[in-house]
Chains A and B, each alone.
Chain A
């Protein structure tokens, strides 16, 4: 069966520090991969998605970036974190287009001080 792993589960970082969140999927090949951010009390905002290695689509301009160095690995990064980057970050995967649901990881709670 397929599984998705996100780490770390929680992270506290000072403003201006770098960021690297990792997401890996097991048990499937060539998944679509997604990064979402969920601010407190709000819905999900799609940040990036990828349909293949090295293919990244950005949905929202910001100081975050994403990379997909391997088929089942998706990394969210920043060179300098802002206070507004605080939130709950969720990684998800799916197969194919449209009619296949996305499956979510357990998320990373990021607090910027």
Chain B
């Protein structure tokens, strides 16, 4: 079965600084990977997804993520953080021919002025 680890529980970053959120997955074959964002009291919004092809994927809100098979990682990045990026971020993985996403525990991002 697949699993996801997000090593950082909480990250604080200054507005305008760069952001990188780590995600490591465990799966025997090529996984399908997703990043979601959740604002307080809201549902999850899909930021981006990776299925195959180019290992650098672009998403909404200026986010991008890079799939590195050798490191079993799918880290999320943003060059310049805005105060509105304060939220909780979840990495998720699903195996081929599966219906069920496995989520990481999430990383809470705080943006300071």
Which residues from chain A sit less than 8 Å from chain B, CB to CB? 6, 32, 42-44, 46, 49, 51, 59, 88, 90, 92, 94, 97-99, 101-107, 109
Q: Is the CB of B51 within 8 A of A99?
A: yes
Q: How distant is A65 from chain B, measured CB to nearest CB, in Å?
A: 18
Asked if B101 is an interface residue, CB under 8 A from chain A, the answer is yes
Q: Is the CB of A49 within 8 A of B43?
A: no
Q: How distant is A112 from chain B, measured CB to nearest CB, in Å?
A: 18
Q: How distant is A100 from chain B, measured CB to nearest CB, in Å?
A: 9
Contacts of A90 in B (CB 8 A): 43-44
Asked if B46 is an interface residue, CB under 8 A from chain A, the answer is yes
Q: How distant is B49 from chain A, measured CB to nearest CB, in Å?
A: 5
In the complex, number of A-B residue pairs with CB atoms less than 8 Å apart: 53
User: For chain B, which range describes its interface: under 10, 10 to 19, 20 to 34, or 35 or more residues?
Assistant: 20 to 34
**Of A44, A99, A105, which contacts B90 at CB under 8 A?**
A44
Q: Is the CB of B99 within 8 A of A94?
A: yes
**Of B43, B44, B95, B104, which contacts A98 at CB under 8 A?**
B95
Which residues from chain B sit less than 8 Å from chain A, CB to CB? 32, 34, 36, 41-46, 49, 51, 90, 94-101, 103-106
Q: Is the CB of A101 within 8 A of B42?
A: no
Contacts of B43 in A (CB 8 A): 6, 90, 104-107
**Of B46, B51, B99, which contacts A49 at CB under 8 A?**
B99
Dominant secondary structure of chain B at its interface with chain A:
loop
Dominant secondary structure of chain A at its interface with chain B:
strand
**Of B94, B95, B99, B104, which contacts A51 at CB under 8 A?**
B99
Q: Is the CB of A101 within 8 A of B49?
A: yes
Q: Is the CB of B41 within 8 A of A109?
A: yes
Q: How far is the CA of A18 from the CA of B79 in the complex (A)?
A: 48
Q: How distant is A86 from chain B, measured CB to nearest CB, in Å?
A: 15
